[in-house]
Amino acid sequence: MEIRERRPDLDDRVPAGIPFTTDPGRRSAFIGGAPVARVPDGRMDRGNGFRPLHGRREERARLDAMLQDVRDGASRALVLRGEPGAGKTALLDHAGERAHGFDVSRVAGVQSERGLDFAGLHRLCVPMTGLLPRLPDPQREALRIAFGLRLGPAPDLFVLGLAVLGLLSETARNRPLLCLVDDAQWLDRASLEVLTFTARRLRTESVAIILATRAPDPVPGPAPEPTGSADPDAALTGLPELVVTGLPARDASTLLRAVVPGPWDERVLERIVDETRGNPRALLELSHEASRAELAGGFGPPGARVSGDRVQDIYRRRVARLASPTRRLLLVAAAEPGGDPVLLWRAAERLGVGPEAAAPAVSAGLVHIGDRVRFDHPLARSAAYWTASPEERRRTHGALAEVTDPVSDADRRAWHTAQAASAPAEDVAAELERSARRAGARSGAAGTAAFLGRAVELTPDPAHRQGRALTAAQAAHQAGAPRTALRLLSIAEAAPLDRRLRCRVELLRAQIAFSTKRDGASALLLLEAARRLQPHDAPLARDTYLEAIGAALFAGHPADSAALLEAAAAARSAPPPQAAPRVADRLLDGMTLCLTEGLAAGAGALKSAVGAFRAPDLPDDDGLRWSWPAGLAAATLWDYDTWNELTSRHLRLTRDTGRATDLPLALTSHTIAKLVGGEPAAAAALVAELETVSEVVENPWPPYAALALAAWQGREADAAALARSVAAEAARRGGGDDTTVGRWAMAVLNNSLGRYGDVPAAAPEDACDRLGGVVTEAWILPERIEAAVRGGAPREADAALRRFDDLARVCGTDWALGLAARSRALVGTGASAEEHYREAIDRLGRTRVRGELARAHLLYGEWLRRRRRQRDAREQLRTAHEAFTAMGMRAFSQRAARELLATGEQVRRRAAEPPGELTAQESQILRLVREGLTNPEIGTRLFISPRTVEWHLRKIFAKLGVTSRRQLRRSASGVAG
């Protein structure tokens, strides 16, 4: 791979990786420094010759338009997807040829590198590393650690994605950049995730990324260990696609005629085109396999089907026809994933193979050896490797290990040594273990798992093998390979386990189950693991009890209440901590006391535990791991300030550490806090970020936050669609068809629309009773009280009020007591009702829950109007209407407007939005500018490049009529967002 400038005096058909000179007559491919084949006209002979594309008019037009867009300042990404041999590489060649004025960087996935994290990304980006100093410090250091340039704490893929986005943007600052990625299905997992993240973030950087991937098709020989490999179908989802199919019959026939000298039998050509489905590679390979007699008279085997399997067979036969020294040379080339010709020749010499063995392989169109070693097709590499015997492969890896530098490339040397081992060897396994630790330091979770997995196979001692298998399983779990983790766990269980190891195995099984299912059954598995850990590792057992409670709370369905209460009872019966209680211990004790004996009994302990999480010196690790359940506990206590602070800190820590996989939960929690605080605009920005993050982590996240936002904004159709999505996710997890957040959100929506009869269905009574007010189930009580009063069900209202009054007194916060007073006013009559409304407004006015305060004004105004106190009613309703309108709570605003009209007051309509209304992303950028963030910081927050931020700011300046960031910060805050 190289970045190179296209020169008009050079023929653009020379593929990347072939040395260039300025003299067309001297361009050659080299093998170990010796010229092999001169290509006077600059075209590279690929066995069949380097020829122009036949057909593909639409595909070429799309690629040409894409490149023109990039020349004009846009950025584009495209996935070429097709079966082996469909012509994806040829289309990449075409794009490279047409990229006049571009810097071009080209890389191809290598099957044997799939277990080495960032191997493909390293080859793509190393020529650009001179621009690293231009990146923000965290991003620059993340790339340096990932590429092994230095050791340090493992960076997150999220941070690396932003770093690569910035690096490509800086590379393209003066000239457009084209990145061509062939065989993306064989890139290592980490590289593919980072590249696809980057491709999704491209906006206006003048960068094009084209990734070619094959449709699923078996590769000859045993499948490699899946750890570290990526699923391209999942990773590439959402990117623009161009499906590369076989050529139309006319173009396929033209291609055959161009490469096969006549005469031809038209029926034979028609049959070949039909059998190959126009697959260009199959057509070309078959033209070399078939004799002229076969093509002229149809004397080939009847009914032969040429497909992906057929292409593999062709490569296997071509390799098998070569002499033994040439096959050994190809095997070395296939086993050395880096494509280093120096290593190739050194290893070949140790195997008794000289340079003369290369010519037949080059002539056969299987491999090209220049400044890099490149196979003509991935299936050629597979054939060269898997047609060799196991003993031949071991000898080859042994030779490569001997010639690989033990200092600069210790990990690859260890890998080759391990592949050369024919029997368990502790010294080899130990070296793999050391390589795994180095991979972990570079954030190579998948590489760690690959090294440890092979170390397990080579460990002779059964007891030692068990421990390594468990460690490898944990690494595989962290790498997102649950099936591999479970297989390694089965190895750990192959021999009898002592109790401690058995407990760790069961804990990991439970954690894997929850990470993949997120259901109540997983909570029960965590509970059982905690019980088994208790006699052996009390602190870990207590942490696992808290995980089990959190899992049951996350499942959030009445069917999971039993698991939640069982976990609480078991945790409470566990021995107390031996040393000073940690914050997690205090949180566990407070939650279990509330769950087992009720909020009244446990509120004091829970308040103390939650307060500990507000300490400024709280370790970040505790804040990251336990802020979510601590924030939920604060919400249970109706302590808005603490809840908002904890969700804000959780989100900040998650962002600062770049933990993309933790961001969806952190964003969801803080979104709900912002909604309750009456800040739908801030919540909307968080929801937009959440949607982006959910795409980044490639893990569908239930749209709880979006549903809550739609409900508070009164967007009935959107809320209904989102509620169905939430219900489907809940049903998929096996917990029924509803969740706490979903029920609460729909109850708020129905009350805002005045559909009081629908609230009980959205918030059934058992949801309010089953946990005695613990967690956010209690939030539904005020909604039920309002709906019952307005729906003519006073007994239901009285019963719900008694429960809520008890909870509010226990919590003692203005938020809880204010809502209790509002609820008492709804149920009450006469002077007492008015006193309660005034108390509600007074208490809620001392909090930050502006939405609930506006609702108190609305209800009081409605009560006053019904008593014909029109002037007093107008004052309350006007206050409510203005507040709801400012907060974007449309349904509540319309409800207040209807009440105002009933008092005789004409409601003034808001002025139409100006033609220069900001888009959602422009509003987000404006908000962040006002917070004082720089362009790189805004890009990091919104997952776009600084150059895209600059582009958006120019549009914002024009729309708002300003010329500087200072004017933006001084401008009125009423602009959307």
Burial of 424-438, coded b for 16+ CB within 10 Å and e otherwise, reads eeeebbbbbbebbeb
Whether 192 contacts 730, CB under 8 Å: no
Rounded to whole angstroms, the Cα distance separating 526 from 497 reads 19
**Is 50 exceeded by the pLDDT of residue 306?**
no
Lowest mean pLDDT among 250-259, 351-360, 715-724: 250-259
User: Which region holds residue 580: left if phi is over 0, alpha if psi is between -120 and 50, else beta?
Assistant: beta
Which of the four pLDDT bands, split at 50, 70 and 90, describes residue 657?
Answer: low
**Winning range, highest mean pLDDT, from 11-25, 33-47, 493-507, 577-591:** 577-591
Q: Angle 748-754-755 (CA atoms, 0-180°, nearest 5)?
A: 80
Distances (CA, A) of 408 to 56, 105, 129, 221, 418: 45, 25, 18, 31, 18
Enumerate the β-bridge partners of residue 373.
Answer: 369
Residue by residue, DSSP assigns 206-237 as: SEEEEEEEEPP-PPSSSPPP-TTB--HHHHTT
Residue 151 — pLDDT band, cuts 50, 70, 90?
confident
Distance CA 368, CA 17 (A): 10
Asked if the model's pLDDT at residue 854 lies above 90, the reply is yes
Least confident of 10-14, 631-635, 694-698, 906-910: 10-14
Vertex 175 angle, CA 238 and 148, to 5° = 65
For the segment 461-476, the average pLDDT, to the nearest whole number, is 88
- Rounded CA-CA distance 128/109 in Å is 19
Q: What is the pLDDT of residue 164?
A: 93
From the number of C-beta atoms within 10 Å of its C-beta (0-12, 13-18, 19+), residue 893 rates as buried
DSSP β-ladder status, 177-182 and 207-214: parallel
Residue 706 — pLDDT band, cuts 50, 70, 90? very high
Q: Check residue 977 and give its pLDDT.
A: 34
User: Rounded mean pLDDT of 790-805?
Assistant: 90
pLDDT score, position 182: 92
- Interval 416-441: pLDDT, tens: 898 899 899 999 999 888 888 876 65
Helix/strand/coil for 449: helix
- What does the pLDDT read at residue 514? 80
The runs of H, that is alpha helices, within 211-321 are 232-235, 249-259, 266-276, 280-289, 292-297, 308-320
Report which listed range, 102-116, 807-821, 939-953, is most confident. Answer: 807-821
DSSP letter, residue 229: B
SS3 content of the chain, % helix, strand, coil (to 5): 65, 5, 30
CB proximity list for 384: less than 8 A, separation 6 or greater: 319, 327, 330, 331, 333, 334, 366, 367, 375
What is the structure's pLDDT at 298? 42
Which amino acid does the sequence have at 698? E
> What pLDDT sits at residue 698?
47
**628 in Cβ contact with 586 (< 8 Å):** no
- Inform me whether the pLDDT recorded for 766 exceeds 60: no
- Above 90 in pLDDT, residue 513? no
pTM: 0.61
Distances (CA, A) of 84 to 185, 736, 974: 11, 44, 56
The H or E element that residue 929 is part of is helix 920-930
The pLDDT of residue 933 is above 60 = yes
pLDDT interval class at 190 (50, 70, 90): confident
890-902 and 850-866 helices cross at what angle (nearest 10)?
20
One DSSP character per residue, 149-180 reads SS--SPPPHHHHHHHHHHHHHHHTTTS-EEEE
- Please, which pLDDT band fits residue 122 given cuts at 50, 70 and 90? confident
Which pLDDT score is estimated for 226?
40
User: How confident is the model at residue 460, as a pLDDT?
Assistant: 93
- For residues 396 and 335, what is the distance between their CA atoms, to the nearest angstrom? 7
Segment 29-53 shows an average pLDDT of 30
pLDDT-derived band at 117, boundaries 50, 70, 90: confident
pLDDT in tens, 336-361: 866 788 999 999 999 999 999 999 99
Rg (CA), the chain: 33
As separate numbers, helices (DSSP H) first and strands (DSSP E) second, the chain gives 48, 10
Quote the CA–CA distance of 955 and 973 in Å, as a whole number: 18
- In this predicted structure, the answer to whether residue 47 has a pLDDT above a threshold of 70 is no
Q: Is 679 left (phi over 0), alpha (psi -120 to 50) or beta?
A: beta
Instruction: Work out the pLDDT band at 801, boundaries 50, 70, 90.
Output: very high
pLDDT band at 33 (very low <50, low <70, confident <90, very high): very low
**Amino acid at position 950, single letter:** E
CA distance 86 to 83: 6
Q: What is the largest CA-CA distance in the chain?
A: 107
What one-character DSSP code corresponds to residue 43? P
Q: Convert the pLDDT of each residue in 605-644 to its tens digit.
A: 999 999 999 998 999 889 988 998 999 999 999 999 999 9
Q: Which of 19-23, 458-462, 473-477, 479-483 has the highest mean pLDDT?
A: 458-462
Q: What is the 3-state secondary structure (H, E, C) of 175-195?
A: CCEEEEEECHHHCEHHHHHHH
Query: Is the separation of the CB atoms in 553 and 565 below 8 Å?
Result: no
Single-letter amino acid, residue 29:
A
**Mean pLDDT for the chain?**
79
Section 773-790 average pLDDT: 81
DSSP single-letter state for residue 3: E
Task: Report residue 39's pLDDT band, with 50, 70 and 90 as the boundaries.
Answer: very low
Other CB atoms within a 10 A radius of the CB of residue 88 amount to: 27
What's the DSSP call for residue 38? Answer: E
φ, ψ of residue 735 in degrees (nearest 5): -110, 20
Q: Is 575 buried (19+), middle (13-18) or exposed (0-12) by CB count in 10 A?
A: exposed
| Paired tokens of 740 | 């706490």
Task: Give the pLDDT of residue 31.
Answer: 23
Give residue 97's pLDDT. 84
- Is the pLDDT at 956 greater than 90? The verdict is no
897 close to 875: Cβ distance less than 8 angstroms: no
Residue 28 pLDDT level (bands cut at 50, 70, 90): very low
**HEC per residue, 816-884:** HHHHHHHHHHHHCCHHHHHHHHHHHHHHHHCCCCHHHHHHHHHHHHHHHHHCCCHHHHHHHHHHHHHHH
* Mean pLDDT along residues 817-836: 92
Q: Which of 394, 477, 410 is nearest to 116 (CA)?
A: 410
Residue in the structure block whose two tokens are 């006319």 = 250
Q: Return the percentage of the chain with pLDDT > 90, whole number.
A: 30
Sign of CA dihedral 693, 697, 698, 703: negative
Distances from the Cα of 577 to the Cα of 198, 567, 605, 855, angstroms: 46, 17, 16, 45
Q: Where is pLDDT greater, at 901 or 558?
A: 901
Task: State CA 60 to chain mean position distance.
Answer: 31
392 or 730, which is more confident? 392
Q: Exposed (0-12), middle (13-18) or buried (19+): which is 552, by Cβ within 10 Å?
A: buried
What percent of the chain stands above pLDDT 70?
A: 78
Cα four-point dihedral sign 766, 772, 778, 781: positive
- Binned at pLDDT 50, 70 and 90, residue 6 comes out as very low
Task: Look at residue 374 in the predicted model and tell me its pLDDT.
Answer: 77
Which of 146, 189, 188, 185 has its CA nearest to residue 167?
146
Per-residue pLDDT, 776: 55
More confident position, 712 or 578: 712
147-151, 171-175, 953-957: which is most confident: 171-175
Distance CA 612, CA 587 (A): 9
What is the rounded CA–CA span in Å between residue 647 and residue 679? 15
Q: Which residues pair with 177 in a beta bridge?
A: 103, 207
